Structure 1
Amino acid sequence: MKTGTFRSFDKAELFYREWEPTQEANGKVVLLLHRGHEHSERLDSIARSSIFAGYKIFSYDNRGHGYTKEGATYEFMNLVRDLDAFVRFVCEKEHITQEAIFVVANSVAGVVASTWVHDFAPKIAGMALVAPAFKIKLYVPLAKPALALMLHFKEGLNITSYVKAKFLTHNAEEQKRYNTDPLITPNIPAKQLVTLLDTAQRVVEDASLIVTPTLVLSATADYVVESSVQKIFYDKLSSPLKRFVVLEGFYHGVLYEQNAQIALDAIGAFMREAFAAPKVSLKEHLIKITQLEKDTIAKGEIPFLQNCSFAFQRFMLHRFGRLSEGMSIGLRYGFDSGVTLDYIYKNTPNGQGALGKIIDKNYLNSIGWKGIRQRKVNAIATIREKIEHLRAQGEKVRILDIAGGPARYLIELAREYPDIEVLVRDYQEQNIEQGRALAKEFSLKNIRYEQADAFDKQTYENRSYQPNIVIISGVFELFEDNALIQNAIDGVTSMMPKGSFLVYTGQPWHPQLEQIAYVLGNHQQKQWIMRRRSQYELDTLFAQSGFEKNSMKIDDWGIFTVSVATLTCKDA
């Protein structure tokens, strides 16, 4: 066994371990992810199990656990980002692709792994979720809302775990090891626990968009988590290969139980099956799921009380909404318009009088708009990374945004990098006019605006401009038809040189789809009804046109993604 550190998404140093195969290597890698409170060293005996004899094994210590001291207080989604960073580190270190990786994740790590495959759509061979903690048994009434309230007053709040070794395993020797292990972390960051529970609920409800081959091991005598939710999660999975194994009489610490070999054998058998399984595209299957969701919303098939609530919200919007500057802009131009987004990005409450400003502040603080603003932060960071990369290669940076609206964030980048060239296109004339006014205000000569329909192939026929960074942001989720957006994909592909970068955003999940549809209007003054696309569907669309996804960023709520891909192959 060797040890080392790797840099995660935020440059934090995380401690990791690796175990060499004990027999002839098969070129495959297994990631072992430890449960809450524990650390990678406790997985040593499991890593040396005969079922992993031909595999190289990797594990790491979560933030604030074991030998990783950084990050005592954090959002749960940071654990998901850490896993994504670790997978990329292992792939680079071992010179492998994600297809050569299988993940074994215990308890909280099971939620991390399932969230990762849902949100990031990796191409791993499969995963085994061992007693995944989708719903933790909080024996204190109203514990979660109480913790959420306390976090408003003390963000760094920690709580001591109630879990004792005797409730984790029947094995007396393993109980002793747990109780005497100096690296066990007894405290839980309250912020991590609350956001874990919120994220787990989201992933269970939306598990139908997961296609990764999945094994779920469920313990019937689990004092820590609700086993019934594991079956709900499993039943919803769209994975072509999946298996649910009930472990009678097992406690939560499945891999440390007296009969742990039963679980290990099940993992070994499923792992071999997952690596041997043929790869099939499930894009059309997932399209049907989200299309049905969209059609159901369009038909208005919602509960009576919910319908009454939306009717009241519509009345209040049209009666008092114009007091808020943001709502007034949305009512005039559409809540999906570029000028609306520009106002959301500025995030400065304004309106008629004190009441108008209060209404506007609440409007700007809705979770959807908070996610939009984080999408902008992630998009700028991603674009800046690619600008720096191209400049380091001595290349002239040429950016195209196919539906950018006023593109205030590109104005900011054009000011920061006066040597780059930016072309912003948009369908709406008011967006173009506002963008040109911004460019004039800052005397910018390196950014220009054109009125064009992003979904009209003819607008891409001018090959004189060859961008090496193309941006497709916040536009695909407005349209349900993939044939229509394929026009945009084909168009940008025809303009881009091989090796150039595509930055594209996605909306794999949204908590307010129905509210948006029944209360807000779009730029065509119609219902704003969206068909969301899973990250798997979105990545597959671009992959079919020769793009290879390199990395991805996502907000803490799992709403908006920002991905970057390289054009690796191109039809003549």
Structure 2
Amino acid sequence: MSEWEKSEGNFTSWDGTELFFRSWEPKAPSDKAIIIVHRGHEHSGRAEQQVKDLGLTDFRAFSWDARGHGHSPGKRGFAESYYHLVKDLNAFVNFISQQHNIPIENIAILANSVGAVTTSAWVHDYAPRIRAMVLAAPAFRIRLYVPLAIPGLRLLLKVMPEAKISSYVKSKMLTHDPEQAKGYDADALITRDISVKVLLGLYDTATRIIDDAGAIETPTLVLTAGDDWVVKNAAQRKFFERLSSAVKTLKMYPGFFHAILYEKNRAEPMAEARRFILDAFEKPVEREHLIEADRSSFTQREYDFLRCAPPLWKKVYFGVQRSFLRSIGRLSKGVKIGCETGFDSGTSLDYVYENRARGTSILGRMIDRGYLNAIGWRGIRERGVNLQRCLSDEIRKRAQSGESIHILDIATGCGRYVLDAIKANPDIKITARLQDNTPHNVEAGTKLAAKLGIEGVEYRVGDAFDREALLKQSPKPDIVIVSGLYELFPQNSLIQDSLAGAAGALKEGGSLIYTSQPWHPQIETIARTCDNRDGKPWIMRRRTQAEMDELVHRVGLKKFRTEPDTFGIFSVSVAEKEEEIQSSS
């Protein structure tokens, strides 16, 4: 390894946990990096083999020990949820980019097994503008060899929340290379146990990512082992076929076991990985086609399907659900509000945020609790928490300069989250203009601000899609917020006008906080059973995170933060205005 200088350190992840990492620095300075994500049970020390075999001597290389693995803290093989590992990857990439001055666009990922699923979920949910990812034997479906293993594990988790199981995988099932097998068996840092919570989270996340792989635009190489006794190749092929990536390759290696990167003939897949990465760095990250995703994309095709009449059996199936909502379901206060004002109305969402079951009779309250616990509403509430966090962080960051902060919310509803943020920071001078196109919301917000004793807040009626009106804002805001709005409109032309106005209104160095809905597990159920605020079927066109970010990128803003909910349904992102944007842009 004379071509690289090795070092070790720690970085602070998203929740304050200090995780251990290793780096391999080339002799000459470089602004390009390979990040290696180790497979389940292993640690970053095992990545040194890949650094050597790739032979990319003009790239910096980094890898970290997942929490509960190697030198990182935590119970062995345990994480509070599988999604914590996805958020750790995001934190690590941001750390490497910021601390080592490496643009995100100059980073590629090499990931193995469970690490490959983690990488796929990160790329799907955060849509980073990385150059490429190489997924070696991704563990989208683990061979559990026990009938009804997943239902059994779910039952076990209810009884024992911190249950763990020991891996059945032996070195002879991973590689034909006797030296690599010997090294695996002798490695005291390898963790043999895995948390049931993590295993089930892996299964559920992999299911979501396979189903929605069309959201992924990143150039992708999938390396598949022909004789894999650990994971199922069919799931890898399904994932690959559904990718939207313009550049994608799947390579099958007959006779290879699961640990492709440690196999006897690993020079073949490593040469393929090297070629793929170098080719990716010959081309810029290009996503301009996503501006027209409302005309041609897999989410547009989904939207068109939902607008068509369903087959007879679905019509009956969803008709029964719709009838229930509008009869017995109205015993629930939340369902009744949705039926009367639209399930996407501000009134309905305010009720969901309150999250207090009410209704007529015990049955009504039971129905209401089930309604409020729907996965989409849980995601909405988590989005609210993430929005508050992002707003508070932006306020505190800007308060360090000692200057006052002006906020503009272009579709605020009642603006409760802005008022809460102002009230939580009494020592910071904050003014806000909160606009909405509904006079009732403006009136209710004005009364709420007075009730809370908050000064410096102006409510007004305004159109979030009126570009010229947004450009005339005075004073220019430091922070612009658009929450829960763009998800309701399928056309990108509307969103572009709104974003151009919001970006033009911002001060130089100001921030845009925006939300998106990249995925929803109940999108057809909602379309067939629920009405929107206009009394029409609530049919949504999802925007992938990559599409939403490209719309923001197009108006001259650079995204630097995304906070998805743990279900992958809603996200809150923050972008910065790096230079003055002309009003004619």
Which TM-score band (shorter chain)? Answer: over 0.9
CA offset digits 1:432-478 (Å, max 9, x no partner):
23322322322222333222221123542543232111111111010
Q: Flag the 1:27–1:432 CA change in 2: closer, same or farther, 3 A.
A: closer
Which deviates more, 116-125 or 369-378? 116-125
Q: Flag the 1:45–1:286 CA change in 2: closer, same or farther, 3 A.
A: same
Residue ranges of structure 1 left out of the alignment (5+ in a row): none
Find out whether 1:493 has 2:491 as its counterpart.
no
Find out whether 1:54 has 2:62 as its counterpart.
no
**1:445-484 paired onto structure 2 within 5 Å:** 445-460=455-470, 462-484=472-494
Name the CA distance, whole Å, in 2 between partners of 1:87 and 1:304.
49
Contact 2:503 2:581 in 1 (8 A): no
Give the % identical residues: 42
Find out whether 1:70 has 2:74 as its counterpart.
yes
CA offset digits 1:534-561 (Å, max 9, x no partner):
1111111111111011111111111111
**1:94-493 paired onto structure 2 within 5 Å:** 94-281=100-287, 282-284=289-291, 286-287=293-294, 288-289=296-297, 290-301=299-310, 303-418=311-426, 419-460=429-470, 462-493=472-503
Cα drift, residue 279 of structure 1: 3.6
Which deviates more, 548-557 or 44-53? 44-53
Cα drift, residue 329 of structure 1: 1.4
Which deviates more, 553-562 or 402-411? 402-411
SS at match of 2:533: coil
Q: Tell me which residue corresponds to 1:16.
A: 21
Contact 1:414 1:422 in 2 (8 A): no
Contact 2:111 2:134 in 1 (8 A): yes
The one-letter amino acid paired with 1:319 is S
CA offset digits 1:268-307 (Å, max 9, x no partner):
1111111112443331564422111101100134x54333
CA offset digits 1:191-230 (Å, max 9, x no partner):
1111111111111111112111111000010011001211
Q: Flag the 1:266–1:458 CA change in 2: closer, same or farther, 3 A.
A: closer
Which deviates more, 6-15 or 25-34? 25-34
Find out whether 1:7 has 2:17 as its counterpart.
no
Name the CA distance, whole Å, in 2 between partners of 1:476 and 1:27.
36
Name the CA distance, whole Å, in 1 between partners of 2:580 and 2:339.
42
Name the CA distance, whole Å, in 2 between partners of 1:180 and 1:8.
29
The one-letter amino acid paired with 2:272 is A
Cα drift, residue 50 of structure 1: 5.4
SS at match of 1:32: strand
Q: Tell me which residue corresponds to 1:44.
A: 48
Name the CA distance, whole Å, in 2 between partners of 1:489 and 1:286.
16
Q: Flag the 1:127–1:199 CA change in 2: closer, same or farther, 3 A.
A: same
Name the CA distance, whole Å, in 2 between partners of 1:213 and 1:481.
27
Q: Flag the 1:284–1:500 CA change in 2: closer, same or farther, 3 A.
A: closer
Contact 1:73 1:156 in 2 (8 A): no
SS at match of 1:105: strand
Cα drift, residue 53 of structure 1: 2.4
Which deviates more, 204-213 or 127-136? 204-213
The one-letter amino acid paired with 1:107 is S
The one-letter amino acid paired with 1:329 is I
Name the CA distance, whole Å, in 2 between partners of 1:104 and 1:285.
30
The one-letter amino acid paired with 2:315 is N
CA offset digits 1:37-86 (Å, max 9, x no partner):
00011122222235222221100000100001136332222111111111
Name the CA distance, whole Å, in 1 between partners of 2:445 and 2:363.
30
Q: Tell me which residue corresponds to 2:528.
A: 518
SS at match of 2:111: strand
Q: Tell me which residue corresponds to 2:3.
A: none
Q: Tell me which residue corresponds to 2:573.
A: 563
Name the CA distance, whole Å, in 1 between partners of 2:551 and 2:124.
17
CA offset digits 1:517-538 (Å, max 9, x no partner):
1111111111111111111111
Q: Flag the 1:270–1:462 CA change in 2: closer, same or farther, 3 A.
A: closer
CA offset digits 1:379-400 (Å, max 9, x no partner):
1000000000111111211111
Contact 1:400 1:424 in 2 (8 A): yes
Name the CA distance, whole Å, in 1 between partners of 2:472 and 2:59.
52
What TM-score do the two structures reach when normalised by structure 2? Answer: 0.94
SS at match of 1:20: strand
Find out whether 1:35 has 2:39 as its counterpart.
yes
Name the CA distance, whole Å, in 2 between partners of 1:376 and 1:506.
12
The one-letter amino acid paired with 2:360 is Q
SS at match of 1:152: helix
Contact 2:473 2:505 in 1 (8 A): yes
Question: What RMSD in Å do the two structures reach over aligned CA positions?
Answer: 1.6
CA offset digits 1:244-271 (Å, max 9, x no partner):
1111100001111111111111111111
Contact 2:138 2:236 in 1 (8 A): yes
SS at match of 1:5: strand
SS at match of 1:188: strand
SS at match of 2:381: helix
Which deviates more, 134-143 or 412-421? 412-421
Cα drift, residue 181 of structure 1: 1.2
SS at match of 2:326: helix
Name the CA distance, whole Å, in 1 between partners of 2:443 and 2:29.
62
Name the CA distance, whole Å, in 1 between partners of 2:156 and 2:456.
49
Cα drift, residue 420 of structure 1: 1.4
Find out whether 1:552 has 2:556 as its counterpart.
no
The one-letter amino acid paired with 2:161 is E
CA offset digits 1:119-158 (Å, max 9, x no partner):
1111111011000011111111111122122222322111
Name the CA distance, whole Å, in 2 between partners of 1:286 and 1:184.
44
The one-letter amino acid paired with 1:69 is P
What TM-score do the two structures reach when normalised by structure 1? Answer: 0.97
Residue ranges of structure 2 left out of the alignment (5+ in a row): 1-5
Report how many residues are paired. Answer: 570
Name the CA distance, whole Å, in 2 between partners of 1:544 and 1:565.
12
SS at match of 1:211: coil
Contact 1:339 1:431 in 2 (8 A): no
